[in-house]
């Protein structure tokens, strides 16, 4: 090879390497929309930093941070996977109370666990933030009533059912018109909201009194009401609606409910120290997974025999949890430690933690690279 040809080859090779290097995607919002190797994305709400952390489900790297507004908590994905909805609130956070010897909150001045400072609330900040999955950008905010915390979507994706924590109501949003169409009175401190698999009803859990309201999704009237022990945080169902599951945080137990009768059929006592928060049903519907808050664990329960199968150590005070589409991993949002635990469900152990924003709260997962 002649010297000039060799120099030309070296220059060309260097230029190709430089071009390849500059094409590598960096963790930005744009990257989230263009990375082709993302099998699914994990969206994490960060309550104190007012943003979402977007995680690549393929290699657990952070793809993006998306500002969405004040105090993002509840998060869900539209049925078509194109939109992420986030509950945002202008009601400031107050620190959780101390815990007594039995694991129950010590209330002061009639305030409850994770209570809010309503006197300094910025109501203009309340709403449901709308994030476009393809672009990774905030595209708007829907009116949602006062202090929205959790919510769920109707099965057709046209309506959103919301808990309004500070005013004891549930609200219904028509997404097409961006308006609140119905307001339903419920109990004190409504939190969890879950649509039944057939879409005909939605459940609202009320923390303070243990009240569970069943709302008809056609008439928006209360179709049923029953109670569980203190601080029910969430609801999950088997797809055939044979059973539903509601954790009682203060009591450290899981309530198995009969949706047809709208009543508790069985109560499962969890290991001492458990503070069950969020419950998820596995894709094959054989297992239940529950975050245990202050215990720093996730419980694994047989969804049919109710047997406790495992207790998995994760990060500090896990709250929201999500399951990967392939069923291999569980993600938990660990508020005080500002990170997300990744649990290998076959090995039943935490395999890594991913740095998130400040006080991660909720988790939603979008399948496929878009």
- Residue-by-residue pLDDT tens, the chain, 370 positions: 444 443 444 334 444 433 333 333 334 443 444 445 689 999 999 999 999 999 999 999 999 999 999 999 999 999 999 999 999 999 998 766 565 555 555 555 544 445 555 557 898 999 999 999 999 999 999 999 999 999 999 999 999 999 999 999 999 999 999 999 999 999 999 999 999 999 999 999 999 999 999 999 999 999 999 999 999 999 999 999 999 999 999 999 999 999 999 999 999 999 999 999 999 999 999 999 999 999 999 999 999 999 999 999 999 999 999 999 999 999 999 999 999 999 999 999 999 999 999 999 999 999 985 5
Number of residues written out for the chain: 370
DSSP state of 262: T
Contact between 223 and 243 under an 8 Å Cβ cutoff? The reply is: no
Q: Which residues pair with 160 in a beta bridge?
A: 153, 173
What are the respective helix, strand and coil percentages of the chain, to the nearest 5? 10, 45, 45
Dihedral of CA 151/244/158/63: which sign?
positive
> CA 298, CA 277: separation in Å to the nearest integer?
10
* CA–CA separation, 367 and 370 (whole Å): 9
Contacts of 219 (CB under 8 A, 6+ apart): none
Per residue in 311-327, pLDDT (tens digit) is 999 999 999 999 999 99
Q: What is the pTM of this model?
A: 0.85
Strand order in the sheet with 51-56: 62-67, 51-56, 40-46, 360-367
């Amino acid at each position: 090879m002649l010297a000039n040809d060799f120099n030309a080859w070296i220059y060309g090779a260097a230029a190709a390497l430089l071009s390849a290097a500059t094409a590598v995607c960096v963790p930005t919002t744009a990257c989230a929309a263009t990375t082709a190797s993302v099998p699914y994305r994990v969206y994490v709400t960060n309550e104190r930093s007012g943003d979402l952390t977007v995680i690549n489900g393929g290699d657990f790297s952070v793809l993006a941070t998306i500002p969405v507004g004040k105090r993002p908590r509840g998060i869900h994905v539209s049925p078509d996977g194109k939109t992420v909805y986030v509950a945002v609130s202008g009601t400031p956070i107050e620190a959780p109370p101390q815990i007594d010897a039995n694991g129950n909150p010590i209330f002061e001045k009639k305030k409850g666990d994770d209570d809010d400072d309503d006197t300094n609330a910025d109501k203009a900040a309340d709403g449901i933030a709308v994030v476009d999955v393809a672009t990774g950008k905030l595209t708007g905010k829907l009116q949602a009533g006062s202090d929205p915390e959790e919510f769920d979507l109707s099965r057709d994706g046209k309506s959103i059912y919301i808990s309004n924590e500070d005013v004891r109501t549930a609200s219904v949003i028509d997404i097409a018109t961006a308006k609140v169409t119905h307001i339903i009175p419920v109990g004190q401190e409504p939190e969890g909201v879950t649509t039944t698999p057939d879409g005909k009803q939605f459940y609202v859990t009320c923390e303070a009194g243990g009240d569970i309201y069943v709302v008809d999704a056609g008439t928006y009237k209360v179709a049923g009401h029953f109670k569980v022990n203190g601080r029910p945080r969430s609801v999950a169902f088997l797809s055939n609606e044979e059973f539903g599951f509601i954790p009682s945080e203060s009591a450290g137990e899981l309530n198995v409910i009969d949706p047809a009768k709208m009543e508790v059929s069985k109560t499962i006592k969890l290991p001492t120290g458990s503070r069950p928060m969020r419950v998820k049903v596995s894709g094959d519907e054989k297992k239940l997974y529950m975050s245990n808050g202050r215990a720093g664990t996730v419980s694994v329960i047989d969804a049919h025999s109710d047997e406790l199968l495992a207790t998995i150590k994760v990060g500090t005070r896990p709250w929201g949890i999500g399951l990967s589409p392939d069923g291999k991993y569980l993600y938990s949002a660990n508020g005080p430690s500002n990170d997300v635990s990744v649990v290998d469900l076959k090995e039943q152990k935490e395999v890594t933690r991913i740095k998130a924003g400040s006080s991660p709260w909720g988790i939603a997962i979008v399948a496929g690279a878009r």
